Amino acid sequence: MRPLKVIATALALSLLAAPALAEARPAKPPAAAKAGKKSDKDKGDKREERVLQALKREGIDEARAKRVIEVFKKYRKERMPVQQEMKKQREALRALTQSGSTDEAAYTAAIDGIEAQRKKLAEIQERQVKEVRGILKPSEQAKVLKLMHKGKRSGNHGKSAGAKKGSHAEA
């Protein structure tokens, strides 16, 4: 029993001493932080390259893979403002619920706004799928769906490691 007490004591002391021994890291100045960020174009280019390589690994020829990527880009641009508006509506609803508001009309407006944006996103998705179906054979469509599902399962959704939770980007 005595060795167990010694180990427990040593562990407790090491946990207590760790913050005192830790070295404080200086914060990055704002200008340096901005200089280290990548532009949206760089991120988009890297995303396109990753998608292209993934499609080629699945056996889709480069020409068709590039056409599919162009379709994704086109609809991503269309989706972004809709997603931003949906985010605003969700934030408004969250603010209402957190404030304990009793303004039923405001709740209805926020919920209706979210539903309207959801319908717009579904329409955009439907048009995107229809266009991709015109480019790929059914067997290739299945491969694209598999890749998209794999991306969603990983929890990344095309986000960088530091991306804010709740944003929706698609590869």
The domain spanning residue 71 has which CATH number? 1.20.120
- Could you identify the residue written with the tokens 């609803």? 93
- Interatomic CA distance for residues 101 and 84, integer angstroms: 24
Q: Per the domain annotation, does 56 fall within a domain?
A: yes
Q: Per the domain annotation, does 143 fall within a domain?
A: yes
Tell me, rounded to whole angstroms, the distance of Cα 140 from its chain centroid. 25
pLDDT tens per residue, range 92-119: 999 999 998 898 999 999 999 999 999 9
- Interatomic CA distance for residues 132 and 70, integer angstroms: 10
Full-prediction pTM beyond 0.95?
no
CB neighbourhood size of 88 (10 A): 14
What pLDDT does 28 receive? 55
What pLDDT does 149 receive? 76
Q: Quick one: which H or E segment has residue 65? A: helix 62-99
Q: Please determine, for residue 169, whether its predicted confidence score (pLDDT) is greater than 50.
A: no
Max avg pLDDT among 54-63, 90-99, 145-154: 90-99
Q: Per the domain annotation, does 122 fall within a domain?
A: yes
Confidence band, pLDDT 50/70/90 cuts, at residue 127: very high
Domain of 67, in residue numbers: 39-153
- Give the total number of structural domains in the chain: 1
Spatial neighbors of 60 by CB under 8 A, at least 6 apart, are: 68, 136, 140, 143, 144
Q: Per the domain annotation, does 159 fall within a domain?
A: no
Spatial neighbors of 140 by CB under 8 A, at least 6 apart, are: 58, 59, 60, 64
What pLDDT does 163 receive? 44
Q: Per the domain annotation, does 12 fall within a domain?
A: no
* CA proximity to 124, closest of 47, 52, 71, 171: 71
- Interatomic CA distance for residues 87 and 93, integer angstroms: 10
Please, are residues 82 and 121 in contact by the beta-carbon 8 Å criterion?
Answer: yes
Please, are residues 141 and 133 in contact by the beta-carbon 8 Å criterion?
Answer: yes
- Lowest mean pLDDT segment, chosen from 42-51, 79-88, 122-131, 137-146: 42-51
Q: Per the domain annotation, does 28 fall within a domain?
A: no
Q: Per the domain annotation, does 145 fall within a domain?
A: yes
Spatial neighbors of 151 by CB under 8 A, at least 6 apart, are: 157, 158, 170, 171
Q: Per the domain annotation, does 4 fall within a domain?
A: no
